[in-house]
Amino acid sequence: MSDRVGAVRGGSRRASGFSLVDVMIALAVIAIGVLGMMSLLLVLRSRNESFNTTRHAVRACQEVLELSLNEIQILSTPAWLAKWSNASFIPRKIFSLDKGVRYTGAAVGDKTDLAYYAGSVRVTDVSDPASPGTLFEISVAVDTTGLTPSPIKTSLVTRRSRP
């Protein structure tokens, strides 16, 4: 019987359970993992917002380009050039996304609003000098540098012939 008592008092038995140090290390590892996941989610959210805004900018360029291409069939060349050469537009959906509300700025065509110059259309005559006015390069661009928290620069370019 003395052998059993000595074995217990001598400390040769194994302790079961976790010590306070083990628990603290486990909590530290979990906290680092959670913080890493939170920072990843924040980065993904900002990238998603940036992608959505860029998508709306490209869509605005597409719509204006389609308008100009439709009118090239209807208007005479001088009238079409007068309307679309160095034209500007407000890509309203971009500004409403950044502000979180519907855009309430100046009406389209009000040149006092800086947003008016965010969208631009350039038409260049790239036709053969022997037959001018038969081939035009149409460039539609959106540049919101200084107008939105994350600047957007995008453009679409196409060439269209005129009979």
- Higher pLDDT among residues 157 and 108, named by residue: 157
Query: What is the structure's pLDDT at 28?
Result: 96
Q: Give dist(CA 135, CA 45) in Å, integer.
A: 43
102-135 confidence digits (pLDDT tens): 445 544 455 666 666 788 889 999 998 998 888 9
Q: Give dist(CA 34, CA 28) in Å, integer.
A: 10
Pairing of strands 119-125, 153-161: unpaired
Give me 70's structure tokens: 């439709």
Write the burial class of residue 122 (CB in 10 Å: 0-12 exposed, 13-18 middle, 19+ buried). middle
Checking if the pLDDT of 148 tops 80, the result is no
- Higher pLDDT among residues 93 and 42, named by residue: 42
- Higher pLDDT among residues 107 and 37, named by residue: 37
Q: Over range 72-89, report the average pLDDT.
A: 87
Checking if the pLDDT of 11 tops 70, the result is no
3-state SS of 7-33 is: HHHCCCCCCCCCCHHHHHHHHHHHHHH
DSSP label at residue 76: -
Q: Over range 148-161, report the average pLDDT.
A: 84
Domain boundaries in the chain? Answer: 16-161
Q: How confident is the model at residue 14 (pLDDT cuts 50, 70, 90)?
A: low
